[in-house]
Amino acid sequence: MNSRVLTTIALCSATLILMTTAAPATAAIKTNANQPRVSRATTPATAVKPFADIDLSKASPVDKAGAFKDVKTIGSGKPTITDDRNVDGKVTAFDGNSGYALPLDTDFYKKLDKGVTIEAFFKYSGSDSGEHDILSNQQGGGLGLGVNNGQLTFFVNDRANDGNVHHEQQLKGKLERNKWIHAVGVIDTQAKESRLYINGQLAEKTTNDGTIKRPNNAANNFVIGGDSGPNNALQFGMTGEIKTAKIYDQALTVDDISQLSATSLADVHAPKAIVEQGFNTQLVGPSDVVAGHTYNLNVHTRQLKKGDINKLEYDVVFDADKFEYSGADSLLGGKQHTQVTRKDDHTLHIVSTAGLSTAEAKQFSQTRLARIQLKAKATKKNVKATITVKDVTASIDDKKVTKVDMNAVTEQAITIHAKDINDYNGDGIIGVGDVALAPTERKAAVAQAAEIRPYKHVVVLTTDGGGNPWDPEGMYYTKSNSILPKWTTDKTILSKRENAYTMDLFNNKFAMSTSAKSVKPSISAQNYSSMLHGIAWGEMEKSYQMDNASAAQKYFADFDKKEAKYPSIFKVLQHNIPTRGLAAFAEWDPIINGIIEPDATVQSSKSAAWKSFDDVANYIDSDQFNDTALMYMQSDQMDHQGHSHGWYNDEYWKTYKNYDAMFKRVMDNLEKTGHVHDTLVIANADHGGSGLSHGSSDPSNMDIFLGLGGETVDAGRRLKGGSNADISALVLNALQVKKPSSMKGEVFDTSAFLPQTELAKKKRAVETVTLERTTNQFALKFKAQGNRQIRTVDTRIDLGGQDVDKIVVPTGAKVVRQGLQNGVLKLTLSFDRQPSDTLATVTLKSEATKSVGKVAIKEAMLGTDKGQEVLSDLTNKDVASTGEANGGQTTKPTEPSESGDGNQTTKPTEPGNPGDGNLVIKPEQPGLPGDNGQTTKPTKPTKPNESGNGGQTTKPKPSVPGNNDGHASVSGNGNTTAVKPTKPATGGSVTNVVAPHEEATKPEKHKKNNLKGKIVYAQKKLGFYKKTTFTKKNRYKFFTARSQNKWAQFKIVKKQGNRYQVKDINKGSKTYGKTGYITTNSKYVTSAEYTKKAVKVKVINARGLSAYKTKALKGKTTHYKKDTVLKVKQIVKVKGKYRFQLKNGKYITADKHMVHAYFVK
């Protein structure tokens, strides 16, 4: 769209003079589209010769001055040659994704010592937000002409009297979009003055120090249509047309510039005929929104061809009963060109004089008139809503067009999701808190839908340019931007890091990886797309690989596709949990405009500088957070600091101190609202940097931190690995949503999260549920915490292959759900008042007790009278049976010992160590299940040695250690075996050892070391020691308890008493390949394979397993996915290895890393 105001031109004394009203120094002279043509014969030629003069009238531009022999195309795609209705000759059109690069040699800036002038004749039609360069070579120095936040800008950098620090100045003038403008930037090093001219007139000037600071080595091109990025990349691309691009190796005079401007503007003229162009309008937004949350509607209009209509108006109409208007942003051309006003409670009026583009709608920087925010009103049931466009009008210079050609996709259909009928506490999830609040007659129905979810919310906090700052052992540092930052442990340098709060937060209250990596290249857009789409940028198809320039101008490449190839985390959550809200705040708006899809149901907003953490804290404080699943945030200030003053120097660390207060405000609000207990916080950086840039593979650029904080996080743990591509996987894992196949990121270090049975070690102020088990029954015991009133308890109990006979609950209690799924009992209890001691007593069917695993409680959630949900501590505990359903007996503990080696340290009436489920007890009658059902005769405890390993001096028949049939495994798959206990050796504890064969036998004579080379797995937390004496001083490390398919593994060298000498064969372990000692206690170690026939097995390997035709595992026939359950015909042994033969005749491995076996029908 072009203005048609005329400017008169007169010729006087062979000089072209513009007869216009003088403009202020900072304003642009209007270059009007209908300016009459001036004969080029009357225009005097300037005698000034350019250093470089790029001919942009040809498809392959050349430098007519000969300074640059090779003009390269950079970016995605290629600029195009076109005609413009308002200017003579051919011009080059740029779409923001590609440009032309003039490669610079090392002597280029030396040629500019006496000054430099750059000239551009162009028409800009891109976004008024952010930086978009026209002719530029910047990166920690250099110079350039561009558009910055809607103003024409001349970027100037001098050395500021310090060769290592650049001093950037921005000279600004008014920019008229879609009008031809002649711009000249001058750096006069002799006069120490920098000047910006617009259409021949001085717009602004300032002083310089007489130098030009050359950019860093990453910026090795002078770029037309953008700026020079690392590795010959394009950044800050412009949208528009350029006719002239010249560089002069001198400071031009006012007269020189006046003549250049007159020559260029002489080509501008009115169009030959008036054209009333047609338009296409499209409403772009999500198909869903949660009641009470904000819906973002993107309103796009594009012209179908270039024309003269320069004002367009229409109404956007919505249902006032379903939506309420709350604001608009992202206005095309800014408020001066596009306005959104409220006509009434259901109608918005849009007026735009911004120059419209012929680009497709996906080019949002050129086609989006506005982004409108509508708040969805509360509703009792899901409802449909539509938004439409009506009453289109247009004008040319305020003269109304009688008939507007508008081809519009004028209706947007939306489903507003109401709160679930069972969601009484309003958190968007059906859980035990809802059961507590439900009326009596509905409790059972609500309980059927209840889930146990430790995390209701995830908050991701990304520090742009934040690198790897929180390792207490060291940090990156440099004294000069010309020197790469290096890792240092120098305490004097470490004292420059003054972040007391964040150092404590990430090292003591979070689990953190300081070995995490940025995705290559270490640039923002590439890493944010990896974070939010769950796949490393380099693994995406090329058409999906966004960079900083494309993310600022066009939508993610799934736009308008029927099926998303790489859906973002927001789209995945929208599909799986549509009743929960999503939010995003970013100081760098390409995240919310380009990287997050426009049709993702996310309440997104651009945060002001330094305000993103405040936006997050305020949102946590709002009612909307209660049913929000994910909130993402990006803070841009460390990136600004790096680009302006350098990475990892004194100023960088001084600025980082501000982040203490920002992180603290978010964490304080989580604590104040109580959401600290149901929120996983993920904190990371997108990249680091060096000098004044980033993007390289140097560790200072690639190394980042990745921290996790939450109720189940093992606080203080140092994690290993991780990358920004893992962020989405972490979010989905916490929210218990299945990861789509497009996402390749992982929960990179599962040791970050503790099972609920190990949460007691965190010493939280919460209630405790203890499962006390005897031979054929168990009781659930309750220990209160403070004055909190519990009304419901929801549990998940692994029955170890057994069946429930009956459940007895105390007076005032009721079983509202009892169900069995995959061998796990879902038991939900409701209470009229606070439970006292026993929650329930469960009797198991006696016929199933001869060959079963142990019963164990795995998960539990408590609901309060206010609908809050509490993730309690859990303990599993063996007690002596009295033959009555009383829920268990007290126990006699062993002496204290070092944990993780075979003994428990407990008080007689207190729960045992979390998650182990095995106490040493004083039996009161024969047949007590001391070690998974072994009949034992107790021995007197002896004085323990310091090791406390739980082993005994025994003479078992040497064989594969552990229990051949799965004895004492955490999965509870073993058979019982009757043995006679041996007397404990001095220093041992009272624990019985089962001979590692299918049944107890009389010990045979000692054979030569036939255990050598056998593999054993650690079923629980296990100590690995340098010597046979198990002390802290001798300990290499602990191997943490993990799921069965990830049990730590060791190769036996030999057996020494109650110790195995073993070799660590866990790849990635710090002690990998080392030889040391572990306990022989079968509660802690088990053979690598099952050796007894099972009834069925479940595939537990993440990648599944293959079945074969022969017992030698040859002739692959079938691949079974994880969690597939297979019926077993028999077990066979081949060359020392065990195989299961399935009912279908095929053979599979008996490796406990691959399958979990069940021994009861």
**pLDDT confidence band for 881 (50 / 70 / 90):** low
* Residue 218 predicted with pLDDT over 70: no
**Please, are residues 639 and 462 in contact by the beta-carbon 8 Å criterion?**
no
* Residue 41 predicted with pLDDT over 70: no
Cα angle: 357, vertex 358, 364; to 5 degrees: 60
Instruction: Answer whether residue 433 is part of any domain.
Output: no
226's CB contacts (< 8 A; 6+ apart) are 74, 75, 94, 96, 99, 132, 133, 136, 234, 235, 236, 237, 238, 549
Same domain, 855 and 943: no
Instruction: Answer whether residue 1029 is part of any domain.
Output: yes
26 class by beta-carbon count within 10 Å (0-12 exposed, 13-18 middle, 19+ buried): middle
Q: What is the residue whose two structure tokens read 């030959």?
A: 272
| Averaged pLDDT, 819-825 | 94
Average confidence score pLDDT of the chain: 85
* Residue 963 predicted with pLDDT over 80: no
Same domain, 637 and 722: yes
3-state helix, strand, coil in the chain (%, to 5): 15, 35, 50
Q: Across the beta sheet with 72-75, what order do the strands follow?
A: 72-75, 98-103, 221-224, 131-138, 142-148, 151-158, 167-174
If phi over 0 gives left and psi between -120 and 50 gives alpha, with beta otherwise, what is residue 118? beta
pLDDT at position 279, please?
94
Tens digit of each residue's pLDDT (9 = 90 or more) over 734-779: 999 999 999 999 999 999 999 999 999 999 999 999 999 998 899 9
User: How many Å apart are CA 1035 and CA 1025, to the nearest integer?
Assistant: 4
Where among 363, 387, 417 does a domain terminate? 417
Same domain, 254 and 322: no
User: How many Å apart are CA 641 and CA 481, to the nearest integer?
Assistant: 12
User: How many Å apart are CA 1028 and CA 881, to the nearest integer?
Assistant: 36
Same domain, 744 and 612: yes
pLDDT at position 932, please?
33
Instruction: Answer whether residue 423 is part of any domain.
Output: no
**pLDDT confidence band for 1008 (50 / 70 / 90):** low
Same domain, 800 and 873: yes
User: How many Å apart are CA 95 and CA 78, to the nearest integer?
Assistant: 9
Tokens of 989: 């504890």
842's CB contacts (< 8 A; 6+ apart) are 777, 778, 779, 780, 797, 804, 806, 807, 808, 825, 827
Cα 286 to the chain's mean position, in Å? 21
Where among 851, 878, 905 does a domain terminate? 878
Instruction: Answer whether residue 650 is part of any domain.
Output: yes
**pLDDT confidence band for 1134 (50 / 70 / 90):** very high
Please state the three-class secondary structure of 1030-1068 as a single string. CCCCCEEEEECCCCHHHCCEEEEEEEECCEEEEEECCCC
**Please, are residues 200 and 211 in contact by the beta-carbon 8 Å criterion?**
no
How many structural domains comprise the chain? 6
Cα angle: 821, vertex 825, 828; to 5 degrees: 115
Percentage, residues of the chain above pLDDT 70: 83
279-284 and 406-409 beta bridge pairing:
parallel
DSSP state of 998: S
618's CB contacts (< 8 A; 6+ apart) are none
Tens digit of each residue's pLDDT (9 = 90 or more) over 931-940: 333 333 333 4
Which is higher by pLDDT, 954 or 1016? 1016
Instruction: Answer whether residue 274 is part of any domain.
Output: no
Same domain, 14 and 111: yes
Tens digit of each residue's pLDDT (9 = 90 or more) over 432-484: 999 999 999 999 999 999 999 999 999 999 999 999 999 999 999 999 999 99
Q: Which helix (H) or strand (E) holds 297?
A: strand 294-303
Instruction: Answer whether residue 442 is part of any domain.
Output: no
Same domain, 967 and 1103: no
Tokens of 40: 């080029």
Q: Would you call 864 helix, strand, or coil by DSSP?
A: strand
Same domain, 1054 and 1025: yes
Phi, psi dihedrals of residue 440, rounded to the nearest 5°: -50, -45
Same domain, 730 and 843: no
If phi over 0 gives left and psi between -120 and 50 gives alpha, with beta otherwise, what is residue 948? left
DSSP labels for 433-492?
A: HHHHHS-GGGHHHHHHH----S-SEEEEEEETT--S---TT-EEE-S-TTS--EEE--HH
Tokens of 810: 């105390």
Q: Which helix (H) or strand (E) holds 341?
A: strand 338-344
**pLDDT confidence band for 887 (50 / 70 / 90):** very low
Instruction: Answer whether residue 443 is part of any domain.
Output: no
Same domain, 29 and 60: yes
User: How many Å apart are CA 420 and CA 427, to the nearest integer?
Assistant: 10
Instruction: Answer whether residue 444 is part of any domain.
Output: no
Instruction: Please list the alpha-helical segments (H only) found in 518-568.
Output: 524-533, 548-551
Q: Across the beta sheet with 368-376, what order do the strands follow?
A: 323-329, 368-376, 294-303, 279-284, 406-409
Q: Across the beta sheet with 628-635, what order do the strands follow?
A: 603-606, 581-586, 628-635, 457-463, 679-685, 703-709, 511-517, 718-719
Which is higher by pLDDT, 148 or 853? 148
Instruction: From residue 1115, give the alpha-carbon distance in Å to each of 65, 307, 616, 1109, 1142.
Output: 72, 71, 57, 5, 15
CATH label of the domain that carries residue 775: 2.60.40.680
pLDDT at position 8, please?
27
Instruction: From residue 635, give the alpha-carbon distance in Å to each of 498, 662, 693, 967.
Output: 19, 10, 17, 52
pLDDT at position 77, please?
87
Tokens of 82: 């076109």
**Please, are residues 683 and 510 in contact by the beta-carbon 8 Å criterion?**
yes
CATH label of the domain that carries residue 182: 2.60.120.200
| Averaged pLDDT, 157-161 | 68
CATH label of the domain that carries residue 1142: 2.30.30
Same domain, 920 and 1046: yes
Tens digit of each residue's pLDDT (9 = 90 or more) over 1048-1086: 999 999 999 999 999 999 988 999 999 999 999 998 999
Phi, psi dihedrals of residue 759, rounded to the nearest 5°: -70, -20
Tokens of 556: 């993610």
Instruction: Please list the alpha-helical segments (H only) found in 521-658.
Output: 524-533, 548-551, 569-576, 590, 612-620, 637-645, 650-656
Same domain, 556 and 696: yes
**pLDDT confidence band for 951 (50 / 70 / 90):** very low
**pLDDT confidence band for 139 (50 / 70 / 90):** confident
Where among 1088, 1111, 1131 does a domain terminate? 1088
Q: Is the four-CA dihedral 641, 645, 646, 650 of positive or negative sign? A: negative
511-517 and 718-719 beta bridge pairing:
parallel
Segments forming the whole domain that contains residue 847: 757-878
Q: What is the residue whose two structure tokens read 């109409």?
A: 317
Q: Which of 17-31, 454-468, 552-566, 1044-1058 has the highest mean pLDDT?
A: 454-468
